[in-house]
Amino acid sequence: MSNLLQLFLAVVTIVVCLGNRVPDSRQNTRKLDVTLVDINSKLTRTSVTNDFESGSPDPWIDTSPTSVYWNVEDFSIPAEVDYPPPTPSIGTKYLRATRDSQLTPGLLVLRTATFAAIPGDSITFKFWIRSKYTGGNTLDLVLAIENVETTLLTLSSYSTSVNFEWRTASSSFPISTPTNLTLIFYGYCGGNSEDAIAIDDILFISSTTE
C-alpha cells in the first residue's frame, strides 16, 4: 500500500512541476512579441521623415478644419502663380497651405499618428512663411502627450513681406522616458495675395542607431 502511495505522490509531483513550467514555445512567442514591438516603434518614429518628393504627405495627416488645406505642390507648377515659393534646396516638391480661388483665410492642422519616442529624439524641417503684414501668419510645432500640448516652436516672427527664403528649424522632444506622443503643426494663413506657408524636408533624428 505504501508503494502505491509513493507512486501516486511521485506522479502528482511531476504533474505539478510540468504545470508550473512555461513551455518553450510560449517563451519564444513572448520574446518574439517584444522584438516586434521594438521594431515597429522604430519604424513608426523614423517614418515621420518626409521630403514630399513622393507626392504624398504620409504619415502626416491633414486635419485642417477650414477650406485652407495642406497640399503637396511642385515648384514648377505652383498653385499661386503670382507668389511662388523660393526654390527648394533639394528636389521640387514641398507641402504648402492651399487656399481657394477667393484666397479665403483659415486655420491649418497637420499631425502625425501617435508614436513612441525616446529621450534625445528630435525633429528638423525647412519652412517658408510670408505675409503682407509682419506676424500676419502663424506656424507652430506642438508636441501632444494624451490631451496635454506643449509648444516646441513658434515661427510667426519670420512671417514678413520680405521673406523669400527657406529657413531651417529644429527641436528636441522634452521627454525623460520613452513616451507615446503626437507631433502637430498649427498654422494660420491669411487672405492677402502675399500670404503663404510651406513646409519641406521634415527629418526625424533618432538618439539611437536604427
77-111 pLDDT, tens per residue? 988 887 888 999 899 999 999 999 899 999 999 99
Q: For the chain, how many structural domains are there in total? A: 2
pLDDT in tens, 131-186: 999 999 999 999 999 999 999 999 999 999 999 999 999 999 999 999 999 999 99
Report if residue 100 sits inside a domain.
Answer: yes
pTM more than 0.85: no
Is residue 176, in this structure, part of any structural domain at all?
Answer: yes
Euclidean distance between CA atoms 144 and 3, whole angstroms: 69
Judge if 170 and 73 occupy the same domain.
yes
Do residue 110 and residue 147 come from a single domain? yes
154 occurs within a structural domain = yes
Domain assignment present for 19: yes
Same domain, 10 and 91: no
Classify residue 70: in a domain, yes or no: yes
Residue 37 sits in the same domain as residue 54: no
Q: Which domain holds residue 159?
A: 47-205
Q: Give 67's DSSP letter.
A: S
How many CB atoms are located within 10 Å of the residue 122 CB? 15
